[in-house]
A and B are shown apart, each in its own frame.
Chain A
Amino acid sequence: MTTGSRPPTARPGLPPTVPERNVALVDLLDRLLAGGVVIAGEITLSIADVDLVRISLRAMIASVRAATQATDQEPT
């Protein structure tokens, strides 16, 4: 079964079909921190900075999920 968003995709002009908050932060991190055109700006994140950012955000996501699951009393 395929889940997730699948809007019809005549892209230009289309309004966003997925509410912004529903975009998973982990998916954003994969793309924003590792993707995109890299040009040495005058201030850019070093690889070390990006790794730190990833670690801190992933840890946050994990702890938020753990807390949510605890309150939801999810089995296992």
Chain B
Amino acid sequence: MSTQPPTNTWLYAIADAGCTPPPGLTGVAGETLRAIAAPDLTALAGSVPRGDFDEEPLRAHLADAAWLEHAVRAHHRVVDTLARTAPMLPLRFATLYRDDRRAAAMLERHHDELLASLGHVTGRVEWGVKAYAGLAGPTPDAAAESGDTRQDPAARPGTAYLLRRQAQHHRREQDQQQAADDAQDVHTVLAQAAAEATRHPLQRPETVGRTEPMVLNGAYLVEQARTAAFHAAVDALSARFPGLRLETTGPWPPYSFTAAVQPGDEQR
């Protein structure tokens, strides 16, 4: 044992007592996973080397996008796999303790909130619905504008040209406002079909690889029994708002719906 490098305890998720890690699953450092038991609760955890996962080396790794992507995907893989077998609360990425004993003490300290939050997500699944405004394609006017004459404004009467540009600009603003209003309607309807709903910040077109602006990045905690109804609602909204393109992602572990537990003031 003395030859083992020192480790920290990385926490992935909290589940009911008796939950065991799915076999064959490995964590952010390629480590095998284990359960840390506390009254009524289990934390799914792994031992990660302090050489990489102590405060300073971790911070350095975070600046390395490739390292980080690997770690983010590994954390998600564990959480997602577990979520398919048992009700669970995902923990925020990079929640680390010095050892299991201290992690177990945390579980005991927050026993009541954690148990209540676990009850809140049990039997429910998170879905993501994103909406994009169909503003990307050039309008007929804009297409006409991109002809040869654009290089030579003198070829058309200047005033007409400016007015046309102004009208286009105005129409684009109106379209954007309309899309934002429609997105709010979509969110409202979907929230009614869900147990809980939240909006994530909009993703920028360059990170999504699309030209259309995103107007909704919603997350919905849906009763499993109401899954079909939720998706039917999405389809109905697609038909109702042809100017929006809706995209569904999931099912997700309930990442976006654990806000009920925020025991932030930890005594060190």
Contact = CB atoms under 8 A, between A and B. Distances in A.
Contact of A31 (B85, B248, B255): B255
Contacts, number: 189
A9 B27 CA distance: 25
Interface string A52-74: 11001111111001101100000
B265 to A, nearest CB: 7
A30 B102 CA distance: 28
A5 B249 contact: yes
B206 A62 contact: yes
Contacts of B201: 30
Interface residues of B, number: 78
Nearest to B136: A76
B1 interface: no
Given A28-B73, A37-B90, A7 B251 contact: yes
A47 to B, nearest CB: 11
A26 B59 contact: no
Interface string A7-50: 10111111110001001111111111111111111111100010
Interface string B179-198: 00000000000000000000
B89 A37 contact: yes
A37 B255 CA distance: 8
A6 B224 CA distance: 13
A37 B92 contact: yes
Interface of B: 8, 11, 14, 53-55, 58-59, 62-63, 65-66, 68-69, 72-73, 75-77, 80-81, 83-86, 89-98, 102, 106, 110, 114, 117, 125, 128, 200-201, 203-204, 206-209, 211, 217, 219, 224, 227, 231, 234-235, 238, 245-252, 255-258, 261-266, 268
